Amino acid sequence: MSASKSFSDMKRVWKVTKKPSKKDYFQTLKIVVIGLVIIGLIALVMEFLNQLVIKPIFS
């Protein structure tokens, strides 16, 4: 793939893209935040289990 072909492909993609609306932006932001909270809660539960269950067994 030559550089000019790659550049023309990037230019074509840039022309068809559009800026997301505020509704789309905040919906994406909400989904990302919910995902981070879920991952954080899973990590917190795992850490509690590690501290309360696993470490006393192997100490």
Question: Would you state the pLDDT for residue 55?
Answer: 80
Percent of the chain with pLDDT over 70: 98
Q: What is the pTM of this model?
A: 0.63
The number of beta carbons lying within 10 Å of the beta carbon of residue 57 is 6
Half-sphere exposure at residue 49, Cβ-oriented, CA atoms within 13 angstroms? 6
Residues 29 and 26: their CA atoms lie apart, in Å, by 5
Cα dihedral sign for 21, 25, 31, 34? negative
pLDDT, the chain, mean: 90
Q: How confident is the model at residue 8 (pLDDT cuts 50, 70, 90)?
A: confident
> Where is pLDDT greater, at 16 or 2?
16
The answer to whether the CB of 11 falls within 8 A of the CB of 3 is no
Per-residue pLDDT, 1: 59
